[in-house]
Structure 1
Amino acid sequence: MEPDVMRVSDTYNMEHERRGLAVIITNTQGGVEKDGESMTDCLTQLGFEVTVYSNQTMRQMKVLMSKVAQSDHSTCDCFVCVILSDGGNDNVKATDGTVTISSLVAPFKGHICKSLAGKPKLFFIQASRGRELDHGVNVTNAFSVVGDDADDDYDEVDGESVTYKIPAGADFLLAYSTVAGYQSPRNTINGSCYINALCWVLKKYSTTMDLLRMLILVNKIVARRFQSQIDGRSTIPVKQMPSFVSMLTKDLIFTPKEEVVWVRRVMEPS
């Protein structure tokens, strides 16, 4: 007999009244301003209500995440947090120290933030995760011709509600500008290569392509097209490899909203 969970849609419901809240935290200089503007523009185009917070302390970041998690997201499709900072493997810098990423994510777990339970919680982090530099490696590309993918057919259950239990840590996505242990270069004029690629892909494919496929495309763009030099310390060009960890349980496609109210509020630390 077919398990009840197999009768649930394979795609997240993106037809709520609102797209959702998007929080952008900018905690460093040198390219972050451009990245903040790019992400604000991108997320508002996707229908999010964007709030930008700059120069946050450790306490302010934790309080902010708890406060946002306590908001009512029942009419929202999902939630997005963008962190533009320096950092380490599992932490990002505040103005007075470092904060673990896990502590910022924790308030949004399903048993705490119940109005986002079963909905996507997306975290995009532009920050170094160590001091290593990736100088790349030469490879020989093998070209192949791939035909059109045929989508699998799934039966939908109309007019019937299915209740099932999910893990509290389900439906999260953590997307990083680089892999653990490595630096994430920024450009003071044009912004970071990762944020530029992410915004371009989201704007172009968000309504037609699943988010994980989009992130693979971002990985491809950054890995193949980007190279730079860090502070003149090395004559060998530096490469960069973004990464992501997905606990999503369905496909995520940002279906267009018929009517969207775009909000942009810039908040300075109190």
Structure 2
Amino acid sequence: MEPFVSPNGNYLFFNNLNDGINTKLYYAIKVNDSTFNYEGELIGTNQTVTPHLDAVADLDINGNFYWTSTRNYPSELNNLFHGTFNAGKVSNIGRVQGDFNMNTPGWLIMDHGISLDGQFLYFNNARFDSANCQGPCETTLGIAEKENASTFNTLSNSESILQNINDANYIYYAPCISSDNLELYYTRYLKGQITADTVFEICVAVRSNSSSEFSIPRVLFSESISNLVEAPTLTVDKNIIYYHQKTTNSHKIMMRYRNSL
């Protein structure tokens, strides 16, 4: 369901079950920290012909909206889109270009996180092969910098900044960067066959300034797949984290207040 809370805290975006057949983006409006009233589909983002996937919302402080979409895939391999968000609608839609796109069949931008100022894109390249893998076969996190309204290019030191995070033994997704660019949250699980014992972990890695490498990650909380937790999103003041949790016969957006880090 991959929730995302807007920079002003007034909107909660989310997608429905990520089956890739009829996956759409929706939004709700804040009443208080733990209550958002459902409004409906996010106009402008969702395709109408199945199978389709429109998911993984991101929004910077300037109203630039980003999401993952299978529009015209695989004829066009760049599957990250951008537009302008205003009052429940996204307009001026286009593809996000840049060298962070693998431009290789089977590889997708599975997930992403935009910095508050919109200058840095934390992207997740994922390779899919349904004949040989359950879910993504492999993933890598990277960082790209904004060149213009529709283009991001990978930082020359992206690999070194994330060297303590990227580990070929794990599948990564749902990165979320804090408003000060010092805390990177994400979800991971061990690569291999997904079983009832597979554990999903919400992790965080930190750094002392916005240009240095991130620390060795710490697991904030984890659950086995039957109660999986995933896709953290942080308020601008860093006091609340929202995330998706699967429960018996239900999918819920949960929240926790910050105690310490």
Give the TM-score normalised by the residue count of structure 2: 0.27
Greater relative contact order (Cα < 8 A, sep 6+): 1
Which structure has more strand as a fraction of its residues? 2
Larger radius of gyration: 1
